[in-house]
Chain A
Amino acid sequence: MPYALREALAAFRRTPVLTGLSATMISLSLFVVGLFGIAAHNIRRVLERVEERVEVVAYLRDDARPDAVRLAQNEIATFPEVREVLYISREQALELAKQELGELRSLFGELEVNPLPASFEIRLKAGHHRPEEVQAVAQRAGAYAFVEEVRYGREWLDKIYLLRRVAGAAALVIGGAFAAVAMLIIGAAVRMAIFARRDEIAIMRLVGATDGFVQRPFLLEGFLTGLLGAALALSFTFLVYRILSGAVFQLEWIPDGWTLSGLAAGGVLGIGASAAAVRRHLRGI
């Protein structure tokens, strides 16, 4: 579509300030989303690593019968969420405790009885670490009569999930607000472009150009503006990523798929805004 492209580029030249403003607003909107993207991506990476180690620990009563315990161990291992179940005897628990306590080991050395209970360490499969799932496993394990108590890292797990939700919602609200402003400005830019070309549009209509043909340059203008804004947002986001990543903590750059989605979002935002404006303002000519 060389004609539409030529006209769209001419519109950039005609109103560079408005075009720049539109692109900047789109870039601000996507920049916020981009920052969230980095945060979300890295939180997820951390979560994944932490979740690997999340386990449910079921402490057993001292009078539990060994055969019943072995049966339960096999049973729990067949839960769909469960990867493996380790049995830690009272003696093993004491050994582990001594190892972990280091210099304080002598404290135990003087004890005549072993105060630690035997336990199951229940490890979960990858992808089954959502709080609901962990809780479900804990509940089922706790149902055995000889299980005294079940522990799992529920509270802080919940907190990380909550943090991610809150950050997501904030990014959505702020990014959405910028996007709304961006769409208004793109609308204004398209309206000015239409106004500047109203004589041509009237002649196009007169001689039988199709609506699609008349609209194409404006849609293209919006699309290119959106793409430009998205590219700007990407550069800003990358800049911030580099600054933070070197100085404060180790960060990972967002996946390529997200980058492409961001660019596409810019284009869609731009074309959507101009489509709305074109539909509204072209009618009057």
Chain B
Amino acid sequence: MILFDHVSKEYPRSGLALNDVSFQVRKGEFCFLTGHSGAGKSTVLRLIHMADEPTRGEVRVSGYASGKIRPREISMLRRKIGYVFQDFRLLLDRSAAENVAFALQVTGARAAVIRVKVGRLLAQVGLAAKAESYPAELSGGEQQRVAVARALANDPIVLLADEPTGNLDERATRGIFDLFRSINTAGTAVILATHDLELVRQNSGYRVLELDHGALVYDSTSSS
């Protein structure tokens, strides 16, 4: 479903962010993406999202290939990719429900569908009671739940999470991680980029990809 084929990414000033990276992620898989700061984790996620093109090699996602994909297809692909960040990226002038609804509005869903779906998504992330709250009135963990609900709005096949628990305490981290696990159980693949090695160690059953200075130095599936 996701394939990196000898992918290198070079930025004009900072040099090689990824160096000849190859791996594959299957449907419904859960995998950690680890590595120190600057190793290239976010770059991998951005390439999957087709927000950037590889300098060399090819990225394939759900049948689309980097380099051949057209702008309109990128939009369509992104509806199948949920994406959450360390800093949540919610719209501060909109309530939790409106933030989730926004993702549906701008991809052309009808109003009746949106209302039903938003209620279901907020319930799924455990925030049904706070639908009308604004981001400023929510804790970090709750804000991230809103972001996850938004990421799930268009029923993605994969959820990309870039350091999603970086701003959260241990309890909230646990809660968000459990949420990811249940989403994964329901069939959505999850790629979770983090340098929180404690989190990775506590969940040793999952696949781990480790980057170091842009090179893929460890893949738990290929070594075992």
- The total of interchain contacts (Cβ-Cβ below 8 angstroms) comes to 49
In the assembled complex, how far is the CB of residue A1 from the closest CB belonging to chain B, in whole angstroms? 11
In the assembled complex, how far is the CB of residue A137 from the closest CB belonging to chain B, in whole angstroms? 61
Within 8 A of A (CB), among B36-90: 71-72, 74-81, 83, 89
Kindly supply a per-residue 1/0 record for chain A positions 236-251, scoring 1 wherever the CB is within 8 Å of any chain B CB and 0 otherwise.
0000000000000000
Closest to B151 in A: A207
Q: Say yes or no for B184: interface residue by CB 8 A criterion.
A: no
In the assembled complex, how far is the CB of residue B150 from the closest CB belonging to chain A, in whole angstroms? 7
Return chain B residues, CB-CB under 8 Å to A207. Answer: 78-79, 102-103, 106-107, 150-151, 153-154
Return chain A residues, CB-CB under 8 Å to B150. Answer: 207
Closest to A213 in B: B106
Complex CA distance for A199 and B78, rounded to whole angstroms? 17
CB pair B89 A203 closer than 8 Å: yes
Within 8 A of B (CB), among A55-99: none
Return chain B residues, CB-CB under 8 Å to A202. Answer: 89
Closest to B79 in A: A208
Pick from A202, A203, A206, A209 the residue with the most CB of B within 10 Å.
A206
Q: Say yes or no for B15: interface residue by CB 8 A criterion.
A: no
Complex CA distance for A18 and B103, rounded to whole angstroms? 30
Asked if A211 meets B83 with Cβ closer than 8 Å, knowing A203-B103, A204-B106, the reply is no
Complex CA distance for A200 and B72, rounded to whole angstroms? 19
Q: A206-B78, A214-B106 are in contact. List 19 more A-B contacts (CB 8 A).
A: A3-B105, A199-B89, A199-B92, A205-B78, A206-B83, A206-B89, A207-B106, A208-B75, A208-B76, A208-B77, A208-B79, A208-B80, A208-B81, A208-B154, A209-B107, A211-B71, A211-B72, A211-B75, A213-B106
Return chain B residues, CB-CB under 8 Å to A213. Answer: 106, 108
Q: Say yes or no for B91: interface residue by CB 8 A criterion.
A: yes
Closest to A204 in B: B106
CB pair B91 A203 closer than 8 Å: yes
Q: Say yes or no for A210: interface residue by CB 8 A criterion.
A: yes
Kindly supply a per-residue 1/0 record for chain A positions 181-214, scoring 1 wherever the CB is within 8 Å of any chain B CB and 0 otherwise.
0000000000000000001101111111111011
Return chain A residues, CB-CB under 8 Å to B83. Answer: 206
Return chain B residues, CB-CB under 8 Å to A203. Answer: 89, 91, 102-103, 106
* Residue in A3, A199, A200, A210 whose CB lies within 8 Å of B75: A210
Complex CA distance for A209 and B72, rounded to whole angstroms? 9
Kindly supply a per-residue 1/0 record for chain B positions 127-167, scoring 1 wherever the CB is within 8 Å of any chain A CB and 0 otherwise.
00000000000000000000000110110000000000000
**14 CB < 8 A contacts A-B:** A3-B106, A199-B89, A203-B89, A203-B102, A203-B103, A205-B78, A207-B103, A207-B150, A208-B74, A208-B81, A208-B107, A211-B75, A213-B108, A214-B106
Pick from B78, B92, B154 the residue with the most CB of A within 10 Å.
B78
Complex CA distance for A202 and B77, rounded to whole angstroms? 16
Return chain B residues, CB-CB under 8 Å to A3. Answer: 105-106
Complex CA distance for A205 and B49, rounded to whole angstroms? 10
Return chain A residues, CB-CB under 8 Å to B72. Answer: 210-211
In the assembled complex, how far is the CB of residue A66 from the closest CB belonging to chain B, in whole angstroms? 83
Closest to A197 in B: B91
In the assembled complex, how far is the CB of residue B146 from the closest CB belonging to chain A, in whole angstroms? 12
Complex CA distance for A202 and B150, rounded to whole angstroms? 14
Return chain A residues, CB-CB under 8 Å to B108. Answer: 213
In the assembled complex, how far is the CB of residue A231 from the closest CB belonging to chain B, in whole angstroms? 31
Complex CA distance for A213 and B78, rounded to whole angstroms? 14
Closest to B80 in A: A208
Complex CA distance for A207 and B91, rounded to whole angstroms? 13
Complex CA distance for A200 and B92, rounded to whole angstroms? 10
